[in-house]
């Protein structure tokens, strides 16, 4: 069987003689999971695999048997100190105990199944693992940004703010913030505003030859007149016998008044030019090649108000035995540099469209002078910007400073006074007019005229409300001794005879019934005196109805009366205006006015569905401004008047001016089924008259089953 008796003791002879989990080694049962007999009697486990798991020597610091048999670590875990530990943490990044320090605040996959420490500020893991910035980008606050981004211009700590909304390169690998509205980066980086081509003056300077060892300049062309230049562009074709000769070309500008005497050969270092000239202006042609076309653009400051400009071209010492030829020399001189950037376009801020700023546009006829909109017919800018007239001149005519004494005009360039007129500050006027009575400064006042005074033989202002000059000059305007001069009509009147009291303003256009019309009585100021009492009245009659209004007053110059008509038709009105006192007055007027009819507004109650044999009762309200008229209501069914239905109309109040009513009709029995239209019509007529005016209606439906 598996056991035997030896020396009085039971011994195992094979594994069957041992209990489960044990094996027979040297006739003794031992544990099959012991390190000294791991699975077999001869399998002894040694370090580092000094643990026995299911007959296999194992290491408890291994991911398959971490800390014990069968304890297998999951993916992205290592066995650290016999404990399964994640290896994608800052404490154990890629291996047990590998901690991320020194600014490395991320543990990221290396793409090969492992993990490495990284920084969230690096371009390989910007803000988070896996966020790799593209070439030319930088990592700023966890965001990949271009090196020329306005958010981080050239560096994370340099955002472009405010008006500086562009990030531009400096040409040397650096970056700076710029304003898209500036002339250095107008609309975009690199768009530097240059010279204004619209102000260019183009000149052909011809050709020149230079011989070795000579410094020479030759006359080329001339320009006449006032000019001021701020820059130039020169283009020419060159051919030299030696590469170093090409950079010797120059040109010279002789400003009007400068000496133009030139030496053919003055040697090295001599000065050819006067102090009020511009030159020589050297170009910077590359040393190679020895032939080609070259263009150079530079700033320049030179000006003159008149005279002849002389231009010279030449070459300075091309070298012994060498020569240089410069042909098709084209010079462009610029009078203005673009000094503004508007909506991404380089502009001049000295034009009527953009004068001083992008938003300032001059008025029609104005010119822009140094950023200010001006008229070139002013004394400060006569004919051109800054041309200020001397004090001896008071006019600018056709661009020339002049005066009225020179032209023989009055106040302007063209006005000539007629015979009998004088030139005054207000223009050509007659000294017999109220505007300049006797002299330019004597202006007559209200109710005055200009009259000749025979005593002084001069014209003087006269009071046209005075009895001696009542309304005009001369004996025909002198009032009689028993008359006074009406201060507003300026005519002679007797204060003892009744006259009109003033004016009456009354309506002439049609109004609607119920409207209030106003009549205004205005007292003539001549009759408004202490002790005067005024009585006014108005009466209106329409279709036998009469309305009146009246008032008595003494302390005001105006009073208003009102009338109201409660029906349509043509009304007759009469007005009376009386004044009693020192200067009695009286007047009466009459007229007619049309009062238009207004249709009444009526409502009708709604009905619930009913059966045959049931009754309905119509009722509602009426509004009509004609309180003098009579209202009747009729009911129709499907547009057929039903005479058997009688309706009673009741005023809402007992006032004689009532305009609101209610009505209710007698019951009516429905005998047929169907849907019926019930309509209520309100008709208006004068009391006792069968003739109706405008009518109003309302309708609803009734369902009968």
What does the pLDDT look like over 133-174, one tens digit per residue? 998 889 988 899 988 888 889 888 889 888 888 999 888 888
Cα distance between residue 601 and residue 663, in whole Å: 13
Q: Does the pLDDT value for residue 582 go beyond 90?
A: no
Q: Which pLDDT score, from 0 to 100, does residue 612 have?
A: 94
Q: Which pLDDT score, from 0 to 100, does residue 48 have?
A: 77
Q: Which pLDDT score, from 0 to 100, does residue 499 have?
A: 66
Q: Does the pLDDT value for residue 2 go beyond 50?
A: yes
Cα distance between residue 502 and residue 482, in whole Å: 22
pLDDT confidence of 430, banded at 50, 70, 90?
A: confident
Residue with tokens 């300032």: 360
Residue with tokens 């007959």: 55
Please check whether residue 231 is in contact with residue 253, taking contact to mean a CB–CB distance below 8 angstroms. no
Q: Which pLDDT score, from 0 to 100, does residue 548 have?
A: 95
What does the pLDDT look like over 40-78, one tens digit per residue? 888 888 877 788 888 888 888 888 888 888 888 888 888
User: Percentage of the chain surpassing pLDDT 90?
Assistant: 29
Which is it for strands 585-596 and 511-512: parallel, antiparallel or unpaired? parallel
Report the DSSP beta bridge partners of residue 215. 316
pLDDT confidence of 594, banded at 50, 70, 90?
A: very high
Cβ neighbours of residue 643 under 8 Å, at least 6 residues apart? none
DSSP annotation of 73:
-
DSSP annotation of 197:
G
Q: What's the predicted TM-score (pTM) here?
A: 0.44
Q: Does the pLDDT value for residue 229 go beyond 50?
A: yes
114-122 long-range contacts, CB within 8 A, separation 24+? 115/76, 115/87, 115/88, 117/90, 117/93
Using DSSP, state whether 96 is helix, strand or coil: coil
List b or e across 8-46, with b for residues whose CB sees 16 or more CB atoms inside 10 angstroms: eeebbeeeebbeeebbbbeeebbebbbbebbbebebebe
Q: Does the pLDDT value for residue 316 go beyond 60?
A: no
Using CA atoms, how far residue 584 sits from 126, 279, 359, 532, in Å, is 105, 100, 69, 8
Pinpoint the alpha helices (H) of 574-653: none
Q: What is the mean pLDDT of residues 310-320?
A: 60
| CATH class of segment(s) 502-596 | mainly beta
Cα distance between residue 139 and residue 151, in whole Å: 11
Which is it for strands 51-53 and 56-58: parallel, antiparallel or unpaired? antiparallel
Identical fold at 502-596 and 601-704? yes
Count of alpha carbons within 13 angstroms of residue 522, beta-carbon side: 6
Q: What is the mean pLDDT of residues 35-42?
A: 86
Cα distance between residue 73 and residue 63, in whole Å: 5
- Return the HEC string of 410-426: CCCCCCCCCCCEEEECC
Please check whether residue 454 is in contact with residue 460, taking contact to mean a CB–CB distance below 8 angstroms. no
Tokens in use for 521?
């009585």
Q: Which pLDDT score, from 0 to 100, does residue 77 have?
A: 85
Cα distance between residue 653 and residue 256, in whole Å: 104
Cα distance between residue 673 and residue 617, in whole Å: 17
Q: Which pLDDT score, from 0 to 100, does residue 244 have?
A: 52
Of the two residues 398 and 258, the one the predictor is more confident about is 398
Residue with tokens 């009147």: 493
Q: Does the pLDDT value for residue 196 go beyond 50?
A: yes
What is the separation, in whole angstroms, between the first and last Cα of the chain? 113
pLDDT confidence of 503, banded at 50, 70, 90?
A: confident
List b or e across 165-183, with b for residues whose CB sees 16 or more CB atoms inside 10 angstroms: ebbbeeeeeebbbbbbbbb
| CATH class of segment(s) 197-267+274-337 | mainly beta
Please check whether residue 175 is in contact with residue 181, taking contact to mean a CB–CB distance below 8 angstroms. no
Q: Which pLDDT score, from 0 to 100, does residue 540 have?
A: 95
Residue with tokens 């950037």: 341
Cα distance between residue 306 and residue 295, in whole Å: 29
Q: Does the pLDDT value for residue 240 go beyond 80?
A: no
Domain 601-704 classified CATH 2.60.40.10?
A: yes
Using CA atoms, how far residue 548 sits from 536, 554, 570, 586, in Å, is 11, 21, 16, 19
pLDDT confidence of 527, banded at 50, 70, 90?
A: low
Please check whether residue 177 is in contact with residue 199, taking contact to mean a CB–CB distance below 8 angstroms. no
Please check whether residue 236 is in contact with residue 293, taking contact to mean a CB–CB distance below 8 angstroms. yes
Cβ neighbours of residue 113 under 8 Å, at least 6 residues apart? none
Q: Does the pLDDT value for residue 495 go beyond 70?
A: no
The mean predicted confidence, pLDDT, of the chain is 83
Cα distance between residue 254 and residue 46, in whole Å: 106
Please check whether residue 278 is in contact with residue 302, taking contact to mean a CB–CB distance below 8 angstroms. yes
Give me the phi and psi of 407, to 5 degrees please.
-85, -20
Of the two residues 492 and 264, the one the predictor is more confident about is 492
Q: Which pLDDT score, from 0 to 100, does residue 367 have?
A: 93
What does the pLDDT look like over 255-269, one tens digit per residue? 776 544 433 333 333
pLDDT confidence of 245, banded at 50, 70, 90?
A: very low
Cβ neighbours of residue 497 under 8 Å, at least 6 residues apart? none
What does the pLDDT look like over 470-485, one tens digit per residue? 989 989 999 988 777 8
Count of alpha carbons within 13 angstroms of residue 32, beta-carbon side: 14
Q: Where are the domains of the chain?
A: 3-86, 197-267+274-337, 502-596, 601-704
What does the pLDDT look like over 330-389, one tens digit per residue? 888 888 888 889 988 999 888 899 999 999 999 999 999 988 999 998 899 998 888 899
């Amino acid at each position: 069987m598996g056991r035997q008796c030896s020396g009085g003791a039971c011994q195992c002879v094979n594994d069957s003689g041992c209990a489960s989990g044990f094996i027979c080694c040297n006739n003794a049962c031992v544990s099959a999971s012991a390190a000294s007999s791991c699975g077999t009697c001869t399998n002894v486990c040694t370090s580092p695999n000094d643990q026995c798991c299911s007959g296999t020597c194992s290491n408890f610091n291994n991911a398959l048997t971490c800390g014990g048999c069968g304890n297998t670590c999951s993916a992205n875990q290592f066995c650290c100190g016999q404990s399964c530990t994640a290896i994608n943490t800052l404490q154990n990044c890629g291996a047990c105990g590998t901690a991320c320090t020194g600014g490395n605040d991320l543990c990221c996959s290396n793409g090969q199944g492992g993990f490495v420490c990284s920084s969230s500020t690096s371009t390989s893991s910007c803000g988070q693992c896996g966020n790799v910035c593209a070439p030319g980008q930088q990592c700023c606050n966890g965001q990949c940004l271009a090196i020329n981004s306005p958010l981080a211009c050239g560096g994370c700590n340099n955002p472009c703010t405010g008006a500086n909304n562009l990030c531009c390169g400096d040409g040397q690998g650096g970056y700076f913030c710029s304003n898209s509205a500036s002339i250095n980066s107008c609309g975009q980086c690199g768009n530097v505003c240059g010279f204004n081509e619209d102000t260019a003056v183009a000149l052909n300077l011809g050709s020149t030859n230079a011989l070795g060892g000579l410094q020479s300049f030759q006359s080329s062309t001339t320009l006449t007149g006032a000019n001021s230049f701020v820059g130039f562009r020169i283009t020419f074709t060159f051919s030299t016998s030696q590469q170093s000769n090409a950079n010797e070309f120059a040109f010279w500008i002789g400003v009007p008044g400068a000496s133009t005497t030139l030496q053919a050969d003055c040697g090295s270092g001599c000065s050819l030019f006067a102090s009020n000239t511009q030159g020589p202006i050297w170009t910077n042609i590359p040393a190679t090649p020895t032939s080609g076309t070259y263009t150079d653009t530079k700033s320049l400051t030179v000006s003159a108000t008149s005279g002849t400009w002389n231009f010279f071209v030449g070459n300075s010492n091309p070298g012994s035995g060498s020569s240089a030829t410069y042909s098709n020399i084209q010079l462009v001189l610029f009078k203005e540099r673009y000094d503004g950037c508007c909506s991404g376009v380089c502009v001049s801020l000295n034009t009527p469209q953009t004068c001083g700023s992008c938003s300032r546009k001059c008025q029609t006829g104005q010119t822009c002078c140094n950023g200010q909109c001006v008229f070139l017919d002013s004394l400060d800018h006569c004919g051109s910007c800054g041309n200020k007239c001397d004090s001896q001149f008071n006019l600018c005519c056709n661009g020339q400073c002049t005066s009225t004494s020179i032209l023989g005009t009055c106040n302007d360039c063209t006005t000539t006074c007629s015979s009998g007129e004088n030139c005054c500050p207000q223009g050509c006027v007659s000294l017999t007019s109220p505007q300049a009575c006797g002299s330019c400064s004597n202006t007559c006042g209200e109710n005055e005229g200009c009259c000749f005074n025979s005593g002084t033989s001069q014209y003087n202002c006269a009071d046209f409300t005075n009895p001696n000059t009542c309304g005009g000059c001369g004996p025909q305007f002198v009032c009689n001794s028993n008359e006074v001069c009406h201060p507003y009509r300026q005519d002679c009147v007797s204060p003892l005879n009744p006259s009109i009291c003033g004016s009456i303003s009354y309506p002439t256009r049609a109004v609607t019934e119920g409207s209030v019309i106003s009549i205004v009585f205005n007292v003539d100021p001549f009759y408004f005196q202490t002790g005067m009492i005024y009585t006014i009245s108005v009466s209106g009659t329409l279709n036998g109805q009469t309305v009146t209004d009246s008032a008595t007053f003494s302390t005001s110059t105006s009073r208003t009366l009102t009338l109201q008509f409660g029906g349509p038709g043509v009304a007759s009105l009469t007005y009376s205006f009386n004044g009693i006192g020192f200067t009695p007055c009286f007047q009466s007027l009459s007229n007619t006015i049309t009062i238009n009819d207004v249709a009444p507004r009526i409502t009708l109650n709604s009905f619930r569905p009913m059966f045959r044999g049931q009754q309905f009762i119509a009722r509602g309200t009426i509004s009509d401004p004609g309180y003098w008229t009579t209202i009747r209501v009729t009911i129709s069914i499907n547009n057929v008047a039903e005479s058997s239905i009688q309706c009673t109309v009741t005023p809402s109040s007992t006032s004689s001016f009532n305009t609101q009513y209610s009505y209710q009709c007698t019951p009516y029995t429905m005998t047929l089924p169907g849907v019926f239209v019930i309509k209520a019509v309100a008709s208006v007529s004068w009391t006792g008259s069968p003739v109706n005016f405008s009518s109003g209606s309302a309708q609803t439906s009734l369902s009968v089953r």
